[in-house]
Amino acid sequence: MSNVPAIALNDGARIPQLGFGVFQIEPARTAKAVTAALEIGYRHIDTAEMYGNEKEVGEGIRGAGLDRADVFITSKLNNGSHKPDDARRAFDNTLKALESEYVDLFLIHWPLPTLYGGDFATTWNVLVEFAKDGRARSIGVSNFQPAHLDRLAAESDTVPAVNQIEAHPYFTNEEVRAYGREHGIATEAWSPIAQGKVLVDPVIKRIADAAGRSPAQVVLRWHIQRGDIVFPKSVSPDRMRSNFHLFDFELDNSDIDAISTLDRGEPGRTGPNPDNIPK
Ligand SMILES: NC(=O)c1ccc[n+]([C@@H]2O[C@H](COP(=O)([O-])OP(=O)(O)OC[C@H]3O[C@@H](n4cnc5c(N)ncnc54)[C@H](OP(=O)(O)O)[C@@H]3O)[C@@H](O)[C@H]2O)c1
């Protein structure tokens, strides 16, 4: 079976360190892609209301014939639903779409510090309700900067289990990762291969050639050895399979350091800065 390690979260739950992301997979292709990923061995699916494919994720899981308990499912609260009653309704709809009584992890997708009076702490306390009633086994945030996390710490007794943030060799996001390490918040790295942009980098190609691995495997392995949780997206079963085979080789420290020095800081982002969304 799967040799994917599990990461212990601060609430006692465990999450497979490697999963499968479904951002930008059209609904019509999602069930097939999810079933294929599960057949390859993935046991962790990362979706969101915003992706428009929660229903098809549920179909794909059922299509693989697995028990619900054998798959770790994450979904996320959409940006239009931060007000408490909207958040409760949105969460109900997520469970209905997935046809599941619970999610393993539910996240606030973006902090939106310029909307709703910047009051994402009230939204967070609604997610705490979902954790208390057991319909979200774990709760966390996404795209939260240290200042946003400080605000949650001041206004809630519950520390997020994870912070899902952009991280890859061109944007290593060290400051937010360090905050997570210090406060017991696991880091999930989104766009782990920068949507493909890092795969042609000469440093990564050199390390991949020397290791006899693909550039994507090298970059994903770099994340794994940093201790982050990753869920690369692919609609190609061959790439899904190769992205899954990360646990039979290791990068040495000089390779890890060489990849980390590719960091370009702010210009290296592929997505928006969380302080500026929406503008
Ligand atoms: N919380 C957030 O705000 C947020 C934002 C973005 C993403 N995410 C999550 O993170 C997941 C992953 O991020 P992502 O989808 O943005 O990007 P990604 O996983 O870094 O890259 C996906 C892209 O790389 C290609 N690819 C995948 N494996 C490859 C390989 N082995 N060789 C060459 N190309 C390969 C894919 O094409 P093919 O499909 O054609 O293979 C796709 O175009 C998402 O699916 C989502 O779950 C979260």
CA of 85 to the centre of ligand 1 (A): 32
pLDDT per position as a tens digit, 62-77? 999 999 999 999 999 9
Which atom of ligand 1 is found nearest the CA of 239? 31
Q: Is 169 in the pocket of ligand 1 (CB under 6 A)?
A: no
**pTM, entire model:** 0.98
Pocket mutation for ligand 1, best pick of 17, 142, 173, 193 (most atoms within 8 Å of C-beta): 193
Residue 257 CB partners (closer than 8 Å, separation 6+): none
CA of 232 to the centre of ligand 1 (A): 5
pLDDT at residue 114, as a whole number: 93
Q: For residues 78 and 259, give the distance between their C-alpha atoms in angstroms, rounded to a whole number.
A: 33
The DSSP annotation for 237-278 comes to HHHHHHHH--SS----HHHHHHHHTT---GGG-SS--GGGS-
Which residue's CA is minimally distant from atom 10 of ligand 1? 190
Q: Is 195 in the pocket of ligand 1 (CB under 6 A)?
A: yes
CA of 111 to the centre of ligand 1 (A): 22
Q: Strand pairing of 44-46 and 162-166?
A: unpaired
pLDDT at residue 156, as a whole number: 97
Active-site annotation holder among 51, 102, 116, 179: 51
Task: Indicate if 51 belongs to the active site.
Answer: yes
Check if the beta carbon of residue 74 is closer than 8 Å to that of residue 45: yes
Q: For residues 33 and 31, give the distance between their C-alpha atoms in angstroms, rounded to a whole number.
A: 5
pLDDT less than 70: residues of the chain: 1, 279
CA of 193 to the centre of ligand 1 (A): 7
Which residue's CA is minimally distant from atom 43 of ligand 1? 195
